Amino acid sequence: MIKLQIKETLEVREFEKAHALSILRLKNCAFELPQDSQFEFINNEFRSKPDKAIDIETPNKGNSKTGSKPRKQA
Amino acid sequence: MSLNCNCPLPTAITTITPAACDENFGQIQKIAIQRVGDDFDGGMGNTITVLADWQTKIALATDVKIQVSPFIDNAVIGAGEAITNGGGDNTTLNGRVELVGINKSNVSGMFKSLTSAVIDALQSYNCENAIGVYFFNADGKIIAEELSTGVYTPFPISSFFVGDKTNNGFATRDENALSFQLNAGWSKNYKIITPAFNPLTAI
């Protein structure tokens, strides 16, 4: 299911993907994808929005689980 | 008395309340075609005056799908004529004209300059046996059958026909004739609706 919102009222409705696609392909379409949609409508098709860019500047918080644990003594 | 009449008759003839304003359709310029059985009931997501609700149905691939026609020139709705027996002869009592029914109303029009793809799509409706139409007039109003207060359906039609292209030579536009029939009594429950959009251009 895909959520579309009515441009004028911002009312959100859910549609089957094929139905939503047909709606957005109409001329003078009254609907659009909401801002928070995981999809974008490009060249008459749905595409998943690209993942957010990895922030390489953020320092490691040290919560990595890598590394060996001390062995328990038998 | 027509065969379509209720029996017994009401206790008095029906009162006619004078209308405050005249009412005319004006020029019908487009029709919207849908299989019968669906309606706009005025509920959330199903309101005849809302563009989004029309587009939701237009985009469907089910029985509920609506398709708006190209512009229609010279659209005319004729009156269904009385079906009678006898008159001035020995076949009826005192030679009266005996009213036995009402014919369906013929609707005709003309599409102009259509492409083969559009003709093909329109002629596919010649095979539909349970479709109805909404009318869109020149003022951008929708004319529908009102089933009950606020519930609208297309007018059921029969014998939908779009003919082949006709060509009349130099400086003329090719034409495809349109015709269909409305049920007898179709205009008893019509409603002229003003939508929040112009159906001639928006859909």
Query: Looking at the complex, does the CB of residue A18 fall below 8 Å from at least one CB of chain B?
Result: yes
Q: At what angle do helices B51-58 and A17-24 cross, to 10 degrees?
A: 120
Task: Closest CB to A23: pick one of B45, B59, B201.
Answer: B59
What integer is the mean pLDDT of B50-63? 97
> Using the beta-carbon criterion (under 8 Å), do A23 and B56 form an inter-chain contact?
yes
Q: How many CB pairs under 8 A join A and B?
A: 33
**pLDDT band at B159, cuts 50/70/90?**
very high
Written as six digits, the tokens of B18 are: 């004078």
Q: Which DSSP letter does residue B149 get?
A: T
Q: How far apart (Å, rounded) are the C-alpha atoms in residues B82 and A21?
A: 49
Query: Which is more confidently placed, A73 or B38?
Result: B38
**pLDDT band at A68, cuts 50/70/90?**
low
Q: Which DSSP letter does residue B96 get?
A: P
So what's the pLDDT on residue B6? 83
Among A22, A32, A44, most B C-beta atoms within 10 A, so best to mutate, is: A22
Strand duo B28-35 + B131-137: pairing: antiparallel
So what's the pLDDT on residue A66? 52
DSSP A18-41: HHHHHHHTSTT-SEE--TT-SEEE
Query: Looking at the complex, does the CB of residue B61 fall below 8 Å from at least one CB of chain A?
Result: yes
* Residues of chain A found within 8 Å of residue B52, distances taken between Cβ atoms: 6, 8, 11, 13, 30-31
Closest-approach residue (CA) in chain A for B56: A23
**pLDDT band at A49, cuts 50/70/90?**
confident
Tell me: pLDDT of A42 over 70. Answer: yes
Task: Closest CB to A29: pick one of B55, B60, B61.
Answer: B55
Tell me: pLDDT of B117 over 80. Answer: yes
Tell me: pLDDT of A56 over 60. Answer: no
**8 A C-beta contact, residue B144 and residue B36:** no
Q: How far apart (Å, rounded) are the C-alpha atoms in residues B61 and A13?
A: 18
Residue type, position B69, single letter: S
> Using the beta-carbon criterion (under 8 Å), do B52 and A31 form an inter-chain contact?
yes
So what's the pLDDT on residue A69? 56
What integer is the mean pLDDT of B15-27? 96
Rounded to a whole number of angstroms, the distance from the CA of B92 to the nearest CA of chain A is 59
Rounded to a whole number of angstroms, the distance from the CA of B195 to the nearest CA of chain A is 14
Cis peptide before B8 (omega within 30 of 0): yes
Tell me: pLDDT of A74 over 60. Answer: no
Query: What residues does B84 pair with on adjacent strands?
Result: B99
> Using the beta-carbon criterion (under 8 Å), do A25 and B61 form an inter-chain contact?
no
Closest-approach residue (CA) in chain B for A15: B56
SS3 content of chain B, % helix, strand, coil (to 5): 15, 40, 50
Q: Tell me the percentage of chain A whose pLDDT exceeds 70.
A: 68
Q: Tell me the percentage of chain B whose pLDDT exceeds 70.
A: 98
Q: Picking from A61-65, B77-81, B153-157, which range would have the lowest pLDDT averaged per residue?
A: A61-65
B50's CB contacts (< 8 A; 6+ apart) are B195, B196, B197
Tokens 């109303």 belong to which residue? Answer: B105
CA distances from A56 to A42, A43, A53, B4, B141 (A): 29, 32, 9, 82, 59
